[in-house]
Structure 1
């Protein structure tokens, strides 16, 4: 039997992928917007999921370590050549829509400064700030709308 923690992580990654693709209506296998699980290869990790321009690091653990995870996500974004790294932390007993999506303050400011989000976040919930850890948090449902808005301003990759 495989490692139970690895199996749980794989299920969580697949749940995130399926939730985002379903919510955003991405289904065609050649659609550049399709959120995809990544096979790990080579010495440098490139994140669990690719959702251009975001690397998504999926975490299904009981005890959060958000600042550590965010450093990991940001390093993986650099390895993959993506501008933004975020962490998606499963909330026990809740569906994927209520998972927590964390982004560092520095990355959030770069995202806002990029001009890819509507002025005043029209139609998008503003995230909450964890002042101690210096990171922002959305639900996965809200992050799906952020992803949609950001991608609307980008050319296909």
Structure 2
């Protein structure tokens, strides 16, 4: 019998992938890629070797999907950022399932540093970026490494689409580090 937690995790990863592909218009009404060779397709990569490359690739983002009861967001964000480096992507984010809610209501978490790099790559002022994508701030004590920003999967899907439309290829990788 398969590990039930692995089954839940795989189902959550697949649900995120399918939601983003549909939202971005990359699949037909049956969920088949319009262009299977398009590098912009959101995919679940096969894990190879010792270095994890994240659960989902949605260029230019690596997503670490979490379907657990107890959140450990700052730890997960560090994990996502390391996996983004392993995969050669500029941004690592965490996508956490919200129990009893649709995929669109899942929570996307990013570090303050990653949030700032994305905002600067888009060339947006802080207030506009915060409002447009529904970001909220979580401050965990005085340790700034534990601070992060959160939005919904739906708002993040808008961000991915806008990023791909507004930021020329290659610029995201050179964004403020």
TM-score range, shorter chain: over 0.9
Q: CA RMSD in A?
A: 1.7
Cross-structure match for 1:151: 164
Tell me the alpha carbon deviations over residues 5-25 of structure 1, each in whole angstroms, 9 at most, x when there is no partner. 111110000000000111111
Matched, 1:140 2:156: no
Cross-structure match for 1:95: 102
Q: Rg bigger for which structure?
A: 2
Cross-structure match for 1:124: 132
State the distance in 2 between where 1:129 and 1:37 align: 28
What is the 5 A alignment of 1:12-51?
12-27=12-27, 28=34, 29-51=36-58
The 1:9–1:122 alpha-carbon spacing in structure 2 relative to 1, beyond 3 Å, is: closer
TM superposition shift of 1:33: 1.4
Q: Which runs of 4+ in 1 moved over 6 A?
A: none
TM superposition shift of 1:122: 9.5
State the distance in 1 between where 2:96 and 2:103 align: 9
Structure 2, unaligned runs of 5 or more: 28-33, 141-145, 171-177
Question: SS in structure 1 opposite 2:52?
Answer: coil
**CA contact under 8 A between 1:100 and 1:140: conserved in structure 2?**
yes
Tell me the alpha carbon deviations over residues 96-145 of structure 1, each in whole angstroms, 9 at most, x when there is no partner. 0000000000111111122x255523983230010113100010000001
Structure 1, unaligned runs of 5 or more: none
The TM-score, its normalising length taken from structure 2, stands at: 0.83
